[in-house]
Amino acid sequence: MQETEQTHAINSALVLRFKNKPKKPLFFKYLVVLHESETKINSKIPFFDIFSLNSWNTYKIMLKQLKKLNRKNIGIEIKIREIRNCNSYEVGKWIKSIKEIYKFCKLTDNQFILSSGAETNYETLSGKTFDSLLKVLEIEPIKYWNDLEKWINTKSRVYYGPS
Amino acid sequence: MVLRRKDKHRYLLLFVNDEISLNFQDTNNKDKPKSITILRRRFSELFGTIEFEKAGIKFILENNLGSRHFLIIKCKLESIDNMLTAIALSHPPLTTIKISGTIKKLTSSMELEMSRLNLAQKNCF
């Protein structure tokens, strides 16, 4: 596949999510996502860029295990989709836990990622909605987006072909 | 210092998908969709009844809406962040299409969305 200006523009705008690291170099940006439910955190854990958290009762244990693992500059992902069908009491607890996760990410040089987790068009969220959510979570939106952009640029590796 | 007489408001255009509009009809109040009741409850539970009253959330009944998939709600500008958070955390999910200061601008953008939706439906079949 040859890379033109058009494909380069598309490739730089999209970041794909993979479950495993691809064996061949790719022309587009990608991130390897590991789900909490699919694996146990230990020293034999495969390579990953993002760790997706989804259980709010055990998040403290997960954070301890991640701290022990001592991998710098990983992304810790939180999906809004998973909290939508919970009651407001649980949403309150979720907000409190997110504040702690954000603090953990800051202390351990990891990136906090707030994602819609949308599986259909109806579950997608606008930028303004994300900003409002971040304000409720006491996270400064501008700082969050700048940090995330920097992190994605450093993490996503693209193969531009032999120079 | 001059006191501003009117509070600023924002109108939000929301999209409700097929599943919700069919399965979540409010049996007590036919004029008010169930999704609005869910949204109001979520807001008051998350931010408290005082904030809920301050937000002045109103459901706008527009005769020329033309589609049951679209809803317009009005809230105070100072409560827009709380409102968007409540929308994002509501179940069944609601999608915010546009936020506007006037209802006229909102309905015009809604017509555009409807034509897009019709086009997408035509392309599906």
Q: Is A52 part of a structural domain of the chain?
A: yes
Query: Hey, are the CB atoms on A128 and B96 less than 8 Å from each other?
Result: yes
Q: Is A2 part of a structural domain of the chain?
A: no
* Residue A46: HSE in the Cβ half-sphere, 13 Å Cα cutoff: 12
Q: Is B4 part of a structural domain of the chain?
A: no
ipTM > 0.95, yes or no: no
Task: Write the pLDDT tens digit of every residue in A36-73.
Answer: 777 777 767 777 888 888 877 788 888 888 888 877 88
Percent of chain A with pLDDT over 70: 87
Q: Which residues of A touch B86 (CB under 8 A)?
A: none
Q: Which of B56, B96, B95 is nearest to B75 (CA)?
A: B56
Q: Is A10 part of a structural domain of the chain?
A: no
- Counted domains in chain B: 1
CA pair distance A42, A66, nearest whole angstrom: 9
What is the overall mean pLDDT for chain B?
80
Q: Provide the residue range defining the domain that includes B92.
A: 9-124
- Counted domains in chain A: 1
Give the number of other Cβ atoms within 10 Å of residue A69's Cβ.
13
Confidence of residue B103 (pLDDT cuts 50, 70, 90): confident
Q: Is A30 part of a structural domain of the chain?
A: no
Question: Which residues 51-110 of chain A have a CB within 8 Å of chain B?
Answer: 80, 83-85, 87-88, 91-92
Interface test with A, best of B21, B22, B69, B95 (most A CBs within 10 A): B95
Which DSSP symbol is given to B4? P
Residue in chain B nearest A81 by alpha carbon: B89
* Residue B52: HSE in the Cβ half-sphere, 13 Å Cα cutoff: 13
Does residue A19 register a pLDDT over 90? no
Residue A128 sits at the chain B interface (C-beta within 8 Å): yes
Q: Is A15 part of a structural domain of the chain?
A: no
CA pair distance B67, A18, nearest whole angstrom: 39
Using CA atoms, how far residue A90 sits from A18, A36, A85, A142, B42, in Å, is 30, 19, 10, 27, 12
Q: Is B96 part of a structural domain of the chain?
A: yes
pLDDT at A140: 94
Question: Which pair of structure tokens corresponds to residue B28?
Answer: 């007590």
pTM of the complete model: 0.82
Smallest CA–CA separation between A79 and chain B, in Å?
A: 11
Q: Identify residue A138 by its one-letter amino acid code.
A: E
Burial class of residue B119, CB neighbours in 10 A (0-12, 13-18, 19+) = exposed
Query: Hey, are the CB atoms on B99 and A128 less than 8 Å from each other?
Result: yes
Length of chain B: 125
Task: Write the pLDDT tens digit of every residue in A106-151.
Answer: 998 899 999 998 888 888 899 999 999 999 999 999 999 999 999 9
Q: Is A23 part of a structural domain of the chain?
A: no
Q: Is A121 part of a structural domain of the chain?
A: yes
Q: Is B86 part of a structural domain of the chain?
A: yes
Does residue B31 register a pLDDT over 80? no
